[in-house]
Amino acid sequence: MVFLPEELVHAIVNEFCDDTPSLKACALAGSMLCGASQRLLLSSFTLNQNITGEASILAAHALLEESPHIANYITRLSIRLEWFVDEASIQNLQGSLQQILGKMVNVRQCILSGSFHHTPTFISALFDFLTRQPLRELNVNLWTEISAVTILRFLTIAPVVSFREVVINQDLTALSDLSQHTPKVEDLFIDRSAPQIYELLAQPQFKSFTGTLRHLFVPSLSAVQLLVATAPMLEHLHLEDLSGTILPPPFPLLRSCDFSFPFHTFNPQFWVLISSMLGTSPLLVNLVISLEIVPRRCTSNAVLLTNLDTALAAHPRRPHVRWRLYLKKCRNEAVRAKFLARFDKGASWGTSEAG
């Protein structure tokens, strides 16, 4: 029998990383390819409890009891408990969930979705599980009645944390329990559907929980207080959805900024914000401007672009500017090409000084 080096086997199998049928075929082809194929097939694992019943979690428990080595393969774990599950069912599932989590040791990304406030004992087990993993990313979605303490604790779990459609219970009675936990979050993504998160983190008493932050992704205006609170340590910033004006604080360490705004016309407020950011960010070297555009409703404004050009030319680092245009309601290639040519001509003329 011919044996291949392990790294070559993994390289071959990785070619099929997005092709589940081929990975299954490799797993059945022989012992040489079986292990590497199983690692990819089982690297993403979902524990799901919904209106259809308990089958997913109980089946997962049975699988891991029968084949405990599979737990080492799981690097991406998704746990979904939907809000309409009754309390009795949740109590029946807690034992299985805790035993499943107790077997896992290699989770790099964890996605939590649903309603966990009915399971206070499970929350404790969840944090025990999360702290044991080499976790790089934590995503919290669709969670109602989550405590402020739990939100703050999540910032001590992984370097990348995101929140989407989260509703906070403002009970802060257990804050003293957090003093022993050190913040880890470096990249924080807060969707506009979770405004209570940036309101919570903007409070002065919680400043230590964002002290390690380097990259912040937020809606620009709604999170202005959080921007002010975190501005001194940010190196990367993504601002989304401009619908008004703000006076940005100084960003002494900021190196890159991504503006992502939908618009139909060249809104002066948009360009005032960019120019102001250039004036308060002396280390800025990369500027990305992402625009969602309806071509028939949008025209460039040479005066606004010239003002931007002046700010860029005056900046000590002469930042590079990248444009990302997303054309909406336009499937006609000729119309798209005509608009892009017109936009390119206007942008080139308006920013000629900055190059």
Residue 168 domain-assigned (yes or no)? no
Residue 350: what pLDDT? Answer: 43
Q: Please answer whether residues 49 and 57 qualify as being in contact, where contact means their C-beta atoms are separated by less than 8 angstroms.
A: yes
The contacts of residue 46 (CB under 8 Å, 6+ apart) are: 56, 77, 78, 79, 80
294 pLDDT higher than 50: yes
Task: Find where tokens 């509703």 sit.
Answer: 167
Beta bridge partners of 153: none
Average pLDDT over residues 46-57: 67
67 pLDDT higher than 60: yes
Average pLDDT over residues 171-200: 82
- 333 vs 189: which has the higher pLDDT: 189
Residue 12 domain-assigned (yes or no)? yes
Beta bridge partners of 274: none
Task: Find where tokens 């000629």 sit.
Answer: 352
Q: Residue 274 maps to which CATH number?
A: 3.80.10
Q: What gap in Å lies between CA 12 and CA 6, rounded to an integer?
A: 10
Residue 232: what pLDDT? Answer: 94
Residue 10: what pLDDT? Answer: 66
Residue 159 domain-assigned (yes or no)? no
Q: What gap in Å lies between CA 239 and CA 260, rounded to an integer?
A: 6
Residue 57 domain-assigned (yes or no)? no
Residue 349: what pLDDT? Answer: 47
Beta bridge partners of 111: 78, 139
What spatial distance separates the first Cα and last Cα of the chain, rounded to whole Å? 62
Burial class (CB in 10 A: 0-12, 13-18, 19+), 229: buried
53 pLDDT higher than 70: no
Residue 121 domain-assigned (yes or no)? no
Residue 109: what pLDDT? Answer: 97
Residue 201: what pLDDT? Answer: 93
Across the chain, what does the average pLDDT equal? Answer: 80
Q: Please answer whether residues 280 and 258 qualify as being in contact, where contact means their C-beta atoms are separated by less than 8 angstroms.
A: no
Q: What gap in Å lies between CA 97 and CA 246, rounded to an integer?
A: 46
Q: What gap in Å lies between CA 155 and CA 183, rounded to an integer?
A: 6
DSSP for 166-196, written as a single string: EEEE---TTGGGGTTPPP--SEEEE-TT-HH
Average pLDDT over residues 73-100: 76
- 72 vs 89: which has the higher pLDDT: 72
210 pLDDT higher than 60: yes
Lowest model confidence (mean pLDDT) among 193-197, 272-276, 298-302: 298-302
Residue 173 domain-assigned (yes or no)? no
Q: Per residue, what are the HEC states of 218-264?
A: EECCCCHHHHHHHHHHCCEEEEECCCCCCCCCCCCCCCEEEEEEECC
- 252 vs 116: which has the higher pLDDT: 252
Residue 220: what pLDDT? Answer: 63
Lowest model confidence (mean pLDDT) among 107-116, 193-202, 225-234, 340-349: 340-349
Average pLDDT over residues 83-93: 61
Q: What gap in Å lies between CA 296 and CA 282, rounded to an integer?
A: 37
111 pLDDT higher than 90: yes
Residue 209: what pLDDT? Answer: 92
Give the helix/strand (H/E) hosting 11: helix 6-14
Burial class (CB in 10 A: 0-12, 13-18, 19+), 345: exposed
Identify the band that residue 173 occupies on the pLDDT scale cut at 50, 70 and 90: low
Report the domain count for the chain: 2
Task: Find where tokens 């190059």 sit.
Answer: 355
185 pLDDT higher than 50: yes
Q: Please answer whether residues 178 and 205 qualify as being in contact, where contact means their C-beta atoms are separated by less than 8 angstroms.
A: no
Q: Please answer whether residues 290 and 260 qualify as being in contact, where contact means their C-beta atoms are separated by less than 8 angstroms.
A: yes
Helix (H, G, I), strand (E, B) or coil at 28: helix
Burial class (CB in 10 A: 0-12, 13-18, 19+), 125: middle
Residue 338: what pLDDT? Answer: 72
Residue 72: what pLDDT? Answer: 92
Residue 304 domain-assigned (yes or no)? yes
319 pLDDT higher than 80: yes
Lowest model confidence (mean pLDDT) among 24-33, 58-67, 81-90, 156-165: 81-90
Q: What domain range includes position 2?
A: 1-41
Residue 355 domain-assigned (yes or no)? yes
